């Protein structure tokens, strides 16, 4: 009898505990920033369902993605660890992580008694584990969810994805006259039409959000369910998705919390909240409000409920985007955005196969080539400064770079120092070229996550110091660069040759010393040394170096192909070597060959592959 009573007591207490925990319905969408949503101030946006949700819930005015593109952002979301801290920040790289150490947040929710579902986007960009493995279901079945409370259900909508902005822009429902152009876009017909075309797609996405909310009401579970809506990063016309400006990272976030859980509300329904929220905060917050474990490795802060943790800064990062190499960091508060460009020689608007499928991108480039753009609308196609600063509260399109304005000198120093500290605390794995990091990881037999936490394998402080010298463009550092072209650590040598590259137009260089670097063990050091020689009129030595590396399928092949394209002198001297190159780099060497006009044979696409 006592055993029966004990069992009943446990059963009742478990049931009560389950009823006291909220269901979570997370309605995500793709590729749109705040400028495509009506409640965020665009009078031409047609998003009635999202706007109504904002009236019923709270609307966050300062929510930002850590990565401006899908795969690294979703890598960050599923783990609660920055993709940059794990080495999974380059697009579609699928590098492994220590799965025995880092669990996916649905694992922790299941352990806490939640039924977890995801319909259906994964794209976690992580090797060593099937993306579908942490979920109980990949379908939305409201009857099943009702039987499995508490539940955590993700419904991802693809109708606002970048690909929906491709195709015909001449037959839109939304009028091209009724669009609000970003200041960096020229006011030309095809760009207006593409804006209208994408407004049509966002309207379709909004309708699906409305359907999901109606189904929730119909199920009778709305009073027990917290509803969350946000995009996965910004976008979608050129200079938004993939870039660390507001346009690529400033995202809508709306949360509706029912009366039953009003203690979690940051403000009254219908309020706008100025609290700074970073996407990295979401996994930890969801776990906390669901009563699940929040492991120490989580790198976010809780932003809902009585355990809210204050956030002073948000950090975002950009690495390789498909076939295009780049390396950028950004840090911001609610008013200022500071950007540090580790590869300033890589133009913002370098041709990227996928982005150039869009009519607006093609039209913008043609307008630039015809010499019709001005200093604001044409800047996208130029190389980058080392640093940028924008006062986002008055310049949301980020077109006025204030980095040299003495009135902001203290802010630049404050934000730069905060970024340096963040890189050390979170173990920035991207201070060396991607394939150099991968090579080291494979040679030492550790995941990138593990390797970058061992100074003997990845001396982060040394690379941070050396990169700062390189980006300073100070001729007084030249002797240090020369000395460190012989450093034991190839990462230090890499930044030493980068430093020489950045000084080439400011002071004379010892070309014989640079030429010796063509024999460096690091192929990335060789590639940059060759570029210095090319610019110094020793084109034969540079071309011989690049051809040798490409013909032998160097692990630096993708960077070399990018350099050849950035130079813009054509590919004829390298054609045979490019054809011979078999290094894959997740297939993006083939993508870069296509970019350069080299025909390649690609394998048939896999079925059911997630979109970009």
Instruction: Summarize pLDDT for 409-437 with one digit per residue, the tens.
Output: 999 999 999 999 999 999 999 999 999 99
Helix (H) or strand (E) holding 96: strand 95-96
As to burial, measured by CB atoms within 10 angstroms (0-12 exposed, 13-18 middle, 19+ buried), residue 100 is exposed
Residue 352 confidence (pLDDT) above 80? yes
DSSP string of 228-245, one letter each residue: EEEESS---SSSSTTSSS
pLDDT of 120 higher than 60: yes
For residue 496, the enclosing domain spans 427-509
- Only one residue has tokens 């409201």, namely 142
CB 560 within 8 A of CB 550: yes
How many domains does the structure of the chain reveal? 2
Instruction: Give the pLDDT confidence score for residue 549 in this predicted structure.
Output: 98
Q: How confident is the model at residue 605 (pLDDT cuts 50, 70, 90)?
A: very low
For residues 472-479, average pLDDT = 98
The structure tokens listed for 49 are 């369902």
Task: Give residues with Cβ within 8 angstroms of 43, minimum separation 6.
Answer: 180
Q: Which token pair is 474?
A: 């100070």
Q: Are 233 and 68 in contact (CB under 8 A)?
A: yes
Chain-centre distance of CA 46, in angstroms?
A: 26
What's the pLDDT score for residue 115?
98
Mean pLDDT of 252-264: 98
Question: Do 74 and 213 reside in the same domain of the chain?
Answer: yes
The answer on 209 and 61 residing in a single domain is: yes
Which segments of 45-159 does DSSP mark as H helices, in order?
A: 48-56, 70-79, 83-86, 105-111, 142-147
What integer pLDDT is reported at residue 600 of this predicted model? 80
Sheet holding 23-29, edge to edge: 115-119, 151-157, 23-29, 225-231, 253-256, 58-64, 272-278
> What would the pLDDT profile of 192-227 be if each residue is shown by its tens digit?
999 999 999 999 999 999 999 999 999 999 999 999
What pairing do the DSSP bridges indicate for beta strands 272-278 and 58-64? parallel
Instruction: Classify the C-alpha dihedral 32-41-399-182 as positive or negative.
Output: positive
Burial of 7 (0-12, 13-18, 19+ CB in 10 A): exposed
**Cα 65 → chain centroid:** 7
Among 286, 304, 322, the domain-final residue is 304
Q: What is the DSSP letter of 385?
A: P
**Pair (202, 55) in one structural domain:** yes
> Which among 279, 304, 329 is the end of a domain?
304
Assigned domain for 342 exists: no
- Which domain-ending residue is among 482, 509, 536? 509
Residue 295 within a domain: yes
Does residue 189 form part of some domain?
Answer: yes
Report which DSSP code applies to 585: T
Q: Quick one: average pLDDT of 62-70?
A: 98
Co-location of 91 and 226 in the same domain: yes
Q: Residue 23 pLDDT more than 50?
A: yes
Is 453 a domain residue? yes
Looking up residue 215, the CATH number of its domain turns out to be 3.40.720.10
pTM: 0.95
Segment 333-338 shows an average pLDDT of 98
Query: 58-64 and 253-256 as β-strands: parallel, antiparallel, unpaired?
Result: antiparallel
- In DSSP terms, 60 is beta-bridged to 253, 273
Q: Is residue 34 part of a domain?
A: yes
Residue 597 lies in a domain: no
CA-closest candidate to residue 30, choices 107, 115, 122: 122
581: in domain: no
481 in a structural domain: yes
DSSP letters spanning 422-487:
HHHHHT---SS-HHHHHHHHHHHTS-HHHHTT-TTT--HHHHHHHHHHHHHT-GGGHHHHHHHTT-
């Amino acid at each position: 009898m006592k055993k029966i009573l004990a069992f009943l007591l446990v059963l009742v207490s478990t049931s009560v505990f389950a009823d006291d925990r909220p269901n979570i319905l997370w309605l995500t969408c793709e590729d749109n920033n705040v400028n495509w949503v009506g409640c965020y101030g665009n009078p031409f946006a047609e998003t009635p369902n999202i706007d109504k949700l904002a009236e019923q819930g709270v609307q966050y005015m300062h929510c930002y993605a850590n990565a401006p593109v899908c795969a690294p952002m979703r890598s960050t979301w599923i783990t609660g660890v920055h993709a940059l801290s794990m080495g999974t920040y380059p697009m579609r790289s699928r590098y492994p992580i220590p799965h025995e150490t880092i669990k996916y947040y649905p694992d922790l929710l299941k352990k806490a008694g939640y039924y977890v579902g995801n319909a259906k986007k994964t794209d976690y960009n992580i090797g060593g584990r099937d993306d579908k493995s942490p979920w109980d279901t990949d379908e939305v079945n409201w009857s099943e969810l009702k039987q499995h409370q508490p539940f955590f259900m993700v419904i991802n909508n693809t109708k606002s994805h970048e690909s929906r902005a491709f195709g015909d822009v001449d037959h839109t429902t939304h009028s091209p006259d009724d669009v609000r152009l970003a200041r960096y876009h020229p006011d030309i017909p095809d760009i207006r039409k593409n804006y209208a075309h994408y407004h049509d797609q966002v309207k379709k996405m909004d309708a699906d959000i409305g359907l999901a909310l109606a189904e929730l009401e119909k199920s009778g579970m709305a009073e027990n369910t917290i509803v969350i809506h946000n995009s996965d990063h910004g976008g979608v016309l050129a200079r938004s998705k993939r870039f660390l400006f507001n346009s690529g990272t400033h995202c809508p976030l709306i949360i509706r919390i029912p009366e039953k859980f009003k203690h979690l509300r940051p403000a009254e329904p219908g309020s706008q909240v100025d609290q700074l929220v970073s996407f990295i905060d979401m996994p930890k917050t969801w776990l906390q409000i669901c009563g699940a474990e929040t492991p120490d490795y989580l790198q976010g802060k809780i932003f809902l409920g009585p355990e809210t943790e204050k956030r002073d800064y948000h950090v975002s990062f950009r690495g390789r985007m498909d076939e295009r190499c780049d390396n950028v960091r950004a840090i911001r508060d609610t008013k200022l955005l500071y950007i540090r460009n580790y590869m300033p020689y890589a133009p913002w608007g370098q041709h990227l196969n996928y982005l150039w499928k869009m009519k607006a991108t093609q039209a913008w480039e043609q307008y630039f080539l015809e010499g019709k753009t001005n200093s604001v609308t044409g800047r996208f196609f130029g190389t980058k400064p080392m640093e940028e600063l924008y006062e986002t509260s008055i310049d949301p399109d980020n077109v006025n770079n204030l980095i040299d304005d003495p009135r902001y000198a203290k802010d630049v120093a404050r934000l730069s120092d905060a970024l340096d500290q963040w890189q050390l605390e979170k173990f920035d794995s991207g201070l060396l070229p991607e394939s150099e990091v991968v090579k080291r990881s494979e040679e030492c037999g550790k995941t990138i996550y593990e390797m970058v936490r061992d100074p003997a394998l990845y001396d982060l402080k040394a690379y941070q110091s050396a990169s700062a010298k390189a980006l300073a463009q100070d001729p007084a550092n030249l002797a240090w660069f020369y000395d460190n072209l012989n450093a034991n650590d190839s990462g230090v040598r890499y930044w030493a040759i980068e430093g020489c590259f950045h000084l080439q137009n400011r002071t004379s260089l010892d070309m014989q010393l640079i030429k010796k670097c063509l024999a460096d063990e690091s192929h990335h050091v060789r590639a940059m040394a060759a570029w210095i020689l090319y610019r110094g009129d020793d084109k034969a030595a540079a071309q011989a170096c690049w051809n040798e590396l490409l013909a032998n399928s160097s692990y630096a092949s993708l960077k070399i192909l990018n350099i050849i394209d950035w130079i813009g002198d054509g590919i004829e001297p390298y054609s045979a070597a490019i054809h011979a190159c078999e290094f894959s780099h997740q297939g993006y060497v083939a993508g870069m060959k296509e970019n350069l006009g080299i025909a390649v044979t690609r394998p048939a696409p896999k079925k059911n592959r997630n979109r970009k």
